[in-house]
Amino acid sequence: MASNLIRASSSLVLAVLVALIVQIFYFSPIDPVLLDIKPASSTKDNQLQNIIKLGEGFLNEPEDVCVDKEGTLYTATRDGWIKRCRRNGNWENWKHIDSYTLLGITTAKKGGLIVCDSTKGLLKVTEEDGFTVLVSQVNGSQLRFADDVIEAWDGNIYFSVLSTKFDLDNVYLDVLEARPHGQLVKYNPTSNETVIVLDNVACANGVALSKDEDYLVLCETWKCMRHWLKGANKGTTDIFIENLPGGPDNINLAPDGSFWIALVQLTSERLEFVHKYKITKHLVASFPRLINLVNGAKKKAMVVNVATNGTIIRKFDDGDGKVITFVTSALEFEDHLYLGSLNSNFVGKLPLHSA
């Protein structure tokens, strides 16, 4: 009797195990490769705990920020609003787009903004016309996951596609899979042509132009590439900075010609091992709760200032995640740093002179 029971329960355990393995391997949403994962940064200065919170409660996860010629600050929020803050400090709802996936934004030289929507594509937003879709297809496929954008002197618009495989809701699967599904794309508004400039980029993210617009910096996981637009190296690409202590998100040119890069903490302390084995990747990918455990983005925040020679000059963080986490962009304007975040209801403002 007892032995029958043991036999029955052990076959039950076996069946559950087999089902789990089948579930993990055959229905896994990813086809992973191993990644030389950078451990979560352990040093901290907590300088980002000194921020002022702008528009607190009014801004639902403002991912990116930009400033126009008048000094008006813009951000795009999860409720589909482009919101703006005038110099007098008052926030207002500016334009609405039916989307919760608005990401990188930049000012356009002829007025208005260019906005990345990871669902609809690349959008133009103006006072008069509201929003229009500039690009919705790239090389014959639906443009998904446009992530960050910049307009060059010649009117060409460069934007990143974080992944051609996963969407914003599943971005961590792209990190786990660790295969380069991203792109840098150039859109010429005069000819209405779209060209893939760089392909096979890992988590293609922030794009910024150098002060002289002679090169463009494109962030990808753990590093940033430099793509030359002018001069002897025109058309070539090299490494601008690598081994970053986090996954670089948006990047912005600073007034002195250096760059500010938001670094997302993609790993959690003591859980880095997950990225070392395919089995753990499959396991985590199959269970969303495990993803939340392994992803360190909502536990800390970090930004770095990088000189044109590719060295880190300054680094600020909230290593305890007490005031701000998941900082996705850092923009320097009039001696202050403005911080966007996918886990806050405000834009952070850090005075730089006292930091």
**Interaction between residue 195 and ligand NAG (CB under 6 A):** no
Of 68, 199, 213, 320, the one binding ligand NAG (CB under 6 A) is: 199
* Distance, CA of 31 to CA of 176 (rounded, Å): 9
* Distance, CA of 343 to CA of 52 (rounded, Å): 16
Identity of the residue, 242 or 269, whose beta carbon is nearer to ligand NAG in the bound complex: 242
Identity of the residue, 290 or 307, whose beta carbon is nearer to ligand NAG in the bound complex: 307
CB of 108 to ligand NAG, least distance (A): 16
* Distance, CA of 331 to CA of 143 (rounded, Å): 27
CA distances from 260 to 163, 254, 313, 335, 349 (A): 23, 7, 10, 13, 14
CB of 184 to ligand NAG, least distance (A): 11
Q: Between residue 104 and residue 143, which ones bind ligand NAG under the rule CB under 6 A?
A: 137, 139-140
**Interaction between residue 293 and ligand NAG (CB under 6 A):** no
* Distance, CA of 76 to CA of 347 (rounded, Å): 11
> 160 is written with which tokens?
């990143």
CB of 300 to ligand NAG, least distance (A): 26
> 9 is written with which tokens?
């329960």
**Interaction between residue 307 and ligand NAG (CB under 6 A):** yes
CB of 336 to ligand NAG, least distance (A): 21
Identity of the residue, 139 or 292, whose beta carbon is nearer to ligand NAG in the bound complex: 139
* Distance, CA of 48 to CA of 169 (rounded, Å): 27
φ and ψ at 178, to 5 degrees?
Answer: 60, 20
Identity of the residue, 33 or 313, whose beta carbon is nearer to ligand NAG in the bound complex: 313
> 123 is written with which tokens?
């959008």
CB of 18 to ligand NAG, least distance (A): 39
Identity of the residue, 78 or 314, whose beta carbon is nearer to ligand NAG in the bound complex: 314
Stretch that binds ligand NAG, among 71-79, 208-216, 304-312, 315-323 (CB under 6 A): 304-312
* Distance, CA of 116 to CA of 106 (rounded, Å): 9
**Interaction between residue 196 and ligand NAG (CB under 6 A):** yes
Identity of the residue, 290 or 312, whose beta carbon is nearer to ligand NAG in the bound complex: 312
Identity of the residue, 292 or 311, whose beta carbon is nearer to ligand NAG in the bound complex: 311
Mark 151-190 with x for binding to ligand NAG (rule: CB under 6 A) and - for no binding.
----------------------------------------
Per-residue DSSP letter, 186? E
CB of 241 to ligand NAG, least distance (A): 11
Identity of the residue, 244 or 283, whose beta carbon is nearer to ligand NAG in the bound complex: 244
Are the C-beta atoms of 177 and 165 separated by less than 8 Å? yes
φ and ψ at 307, to 5 degrees?
Answer: -75, 165
Are the C-beta atoms of 115 and 123 separated by less than 8 Å? yes
Look at residue 203 and give its three-state secondary structure: coil
CB of 61 to ligand NAG, least distance (A): 31
What is the crossing angle of helices 278-286 and 2-26, to 10°? 90
Look at residue 63 and give its three-state secondary structure: coil
* Distance, CA of 300 to CA of 322 (rounded, Å): 8
Number of residues that bind ligand NAG (CB under 6 A): 10
Stretch that binds ligand NAG, among 47-55, 224-232, 279-287, 306-314 (CB under 6 A): 306-314
Summarize as ranges the residues that interact with ligand NAG (CB under 6 A).
137, 139-140, 192, 196, 199, 307, 309, 311, 313
